[in-house]
Chain A
Amino acid sequence: MALVADTPKESFRLGMLIYDTRYRSITIQIIVMVLFLLGLWWLLDNLFSNLATRGKDLSFSFLWNRAGYDINQTLIPYTNDDTHFRAMLVGLVNTILVAVLGCVAATVIGVMVGVLRLSKNWLVSKLMTVYVEMFRNVPVLLWILVAFAVFTEITPAPRDFKVTDEMVAAGVEPAASMVLFDSVAITNRGTFIPKALYERSLGEVIIGFLPISLNTIAVLAVLIGSAMGYRAIKRHATAVQEATGIRPKTWWKSLLTLVGPIVALLFALGFHLEIPTLGGFNFSGGTLVSNSLMALWLGLTLYTAAFIAEIVRAGIMAISKGQTEASYALGLRPGRTMSLVVLPQALRVIIPPLISQYLNLTKNSSLAIAVSYMDLRGTLGGITLNQTGRELESMLLLMLIYLALSLMISSAMNVYNNAVKLKER
C-alpha cells in the first residue's frame, strides 16, 4: 500500500492559465490579440457590407482612366489626357517639392533663431522670443493664408506692367515694372523668373516617370568637381603652411578652379536666359514660381522654424557650461566655440525631435488646397476623388503615400542621427 502520497505531478490544468504567473501574461496577450483582431475584422466586415449595400466595390482601376483636368504647377510633363495616376504623381512631386524646400529653409532659420535667442544681446534675444511665440502659437493655416493674402494683395497684376502707345506718348510710367535688369516680374499670380535654356542641349533621360535633364546633371557634376578641386588646393596650401610656415597664395588658383570649368561648360552648351515677356493676359516665357507655392513655403517654414528654434535652444542648453568655458580657455572666440564645440555636441539632442518637425512639416503641406497649390491632397485627394467618387480608395492611397513618405524621411534622418550620435566603445 503506498501510503506515502506521491508528489503531485506537474500536470497542466486550465486554471493555470489565469492563476499561474508563468502563463498569465501570455494568456492576457492572446486574449487582447484576439479582441484586437475581432475589432479589426468587424470594422473591415462593416466596410465591405456597407459598400455592398451601396453597390460599390473596392477597386483602384480608376487610376488608369483619363484625368481630364488641368493642374497649374506640373514639374513632370502632364496634360489633361494623362491618367489619374499621373495626376497623382504630379501632386506627389509638388508635395515633395514644398516639403524639401520647407525643411531646408526651416532648419536654416530655426538654427539661427535658436542660437540668437540665447544671445547676450537683450534686444536680439527678445526679438527672437517674440518671433518664436508668435509663430508657434498661431495655427499654421492662418500663417499660410496671411502669406498668400500679402502676396496677392500687394503685388501688381500682370496688366499693370503693360506699356501702351498712348502711355508712351503721354510720358506716363506703367504702374509696375520688372526688377533686376528687367528680368524678374513680381505679379499677383506669382514671380516670373528667367529660365535657363541651352542651345546645344544634351537632352534628357526619363527614369521611371521623372524626366531628368542631362544639362542639369552636367552642371551639377562640374560644380561638385570644382568644389572638390578647391578643397584639394586648400589642403595643399595647409600642408605647405605646416611644412614651411608660409601659406602660398591660392586665390587665383581657387578662382580659376571654381569659375573656369562651369563657364566653359555653359559656353559649350550654349547657355542663355529666357526673359519673361508680357503677352496677352500673363507673362510668357521664363519660369513661374506661383504665389501659392511661395505662400505655402513661407507659412510652413516660419511656423516650423519656430519649433526648430526651441529644439536648437534646448539642445544648446543641454551642453554643460564647462564645455564653453574650456573652449574659451583655449582661446576660441564665441562664434567658433559655438560652431566647433557646442553645436556638434548639441546635435545629438537636437536631431531626434527635429525628425518629428520634418514629418510635421511634410504632413502640414496638405493644407496646400487653402491657397490653390495642387499637392497630393489637391490632386488625388481632391479632384480625382471628386470626379471619380472613389473616396475610400483615394483616401487609403493618400494615407499610404503619406505614411511611406514619412517613414522614408524618418529613416533617412535616423541614418544621419546614427552618424552624429556619441560613439560608445
Chain B
Amino acid sequence: MKKSVFLGTLAATALLAGFASAATLDDVKARGELVCGVNTGLVGFAAPDANGNWQGFDVAVCKAVAAAVLGDASKVKYVPTTGETRFTALASGEIDLLARNTTWTFSRDADLKFTFVGVNYYDGQGFMVRKDLGVSSAKELDGATVCIQTGTTTELNLADFFKVNNMTYQPVPINTNAEGEQQYLAGACDAYTTDASGLAATRAIFADPENHIILPEIISKEPLGPLVRHGDDQWADIARWTLNALIAAEEYGVTSANVEELAKGTNNPEINRMLGTEGDLGAMIGLDKDWAKRAIAASGNYGEIFAASIGESTPIGLARGLNAQWTQGGLLYTPPFR
C-alpha cells in the first residue's frame, strides 16, 4: 500500500512537472487573458495613464500579442516588475511574456533559460546630471555618487566604465525608477545612470527638465526586447513574429488606419502573406489568418507606436536613431514573411 502511495505521488509530481511546461498558448487562450510583465512605471515605456490604463512602448508589445492571440488588445493583465523581480516572475510562470526594457545578454539567454524574441529598442547606458554641476562628460565623474537600479546590466557596466577609466564612485543601489528619481532629485546622488531612453523618459516628468542634462557618452550596448521562457518554441515564435509584424508593417507602409483596407488584398505578396490574404502563415504558429492584422490594428505599426509613446512629438522626445528602419539607416530589419 505504501508503495502505491509512493508511486501515486511520483505520478502526480511528474504530471505537475509536465503541466508546468505545457503550451503557453493554450494556457493564455484558456485564461482569456495575457499576463504581461512590465516596468513598475517608466513614462513612455510602461506607465498607467490618468485613467489607470497602462500605456507605452513596451505595453504596445503586450497589446499586439494579446490582439494576435486572443483577438482583443485589452485582454492583458499587466504585472509591474522591478529589475529584481522580473526574471523570477517569468521563470516561475507568473507572467507569460516580459516586456520591460530588458537587455538581451548571453547569460540571460543561455543561463537564465530565457528566449529573447527580438529587439524593440536599441539602447545604450547614459548618465544624467544637474546642469549646475558643471559636468559635460562622463569622464569627469571621478568621485561622484551614482544612483543605479539594482539587478540590471547597467550596474555591471557602471563598474566596468569607472574601472576602465581609472575613476572611483559611490554606488547608491535603488529598486525602481521612481525611487531613483526621488533620490536623484533629493541630491542623494550626483548622477543617475540607466538606459539613455529611460533617462529621457525620467527627465521628461521632472518639474524642471531644463536643469538636467544627459551626458553624451553612451557606455554600453543595451538591446532591449521582450522575452519568454525557454522550452515553448511555439509561444516564442508567436511573440517573435508579432514583434516582426509590427516592424515589417512600418517598412511596407501598413498602418492602423489602412490595415483593414490592405487586408482585402494588395499587389505586394509579402503584405498579403503577412496579413493572411495569401497562404496561411498564422496556422504555422497556431493562430488564425488575421493574427498580424489584429496585432497591427491594436496600436499601429512600430513607427506609430514609437511616435505616440516616446517619439519627438512627445515630452520624452527620443529620435529614431538606431531604431529607424534599415532602409532609413537604422537597425530594424525583419526576416521575410514567407
Contacts and interface: CB of A to CB of B under 8 A. Distances in A.
Contacts of A46: 13, 16-17
Contact of B187 (A34, A42, A72, A152): A152
A372 B183 CA distance: 10
Interface stretch (A48-56, A202-210, A412-420): A48-56
Interface stretch (A264-272, A350-358, A382-390): A382-390
B142 interface: yes
Contact of A382 (B84, B141, B163, B171): B84
B196 to A, nearest CB: 21
A252 interface: no
A72 B16 contact: no
Contact of B145 (A68, A189, A284): A189
Contacts of A69: 155-156, 159, 171
Contacts of A188: 186-188
A70 B187 contact: no
Interface string B68-94: 000000000000000110011001000
Contacts of B113: 54-56
B170 A382 contact: no
Interface in A371-409: 372, 374, 378, 382-383, 385-389, 391
A45 interface: yes
B210 interface: no
A281 interface: yes
A112 interface: no
Contacts of B165: none
B90 to A, nearest CB: 11
B187 A389 contact: no
Size category, A interface: 35 or more
A38 B158 CA distance: 48
A68 to B, nearest CB: 5
Size category, B interface: 35 or more
A49 B187 contact: no
Contact of A389 (B111, B141, B229): B111
A291 to B, nearest CB: 8
B174 interface: yes
B216 interface: no
B150 A282 contact: no
Contact of A189 (B18, B158, B188): B188
Interface string A38-82: 100110011001101111100000000000111110000000100
B251 interface: no
A389 B108 contact: yes
A369 to B, nearest CB: 7
Interface of B: 2, 5-6, 9-10, 13-14, 16-18, 20-21, 83-84, 87-88, 91, 107-108, 111-113, 133, 141-145, 150-152, 155-156, 158-160, 162-163, 169-175, 183, 186-190, 229-231
15 contacts: A42-B13, A46-B13, A46-B17, A49-B14, A53-B20, A69-B156, A80-B159, A152-B183, A188-B188, A189-B189, A281-B145, A281-B190, A383-B173, A386-B150, A389-B91
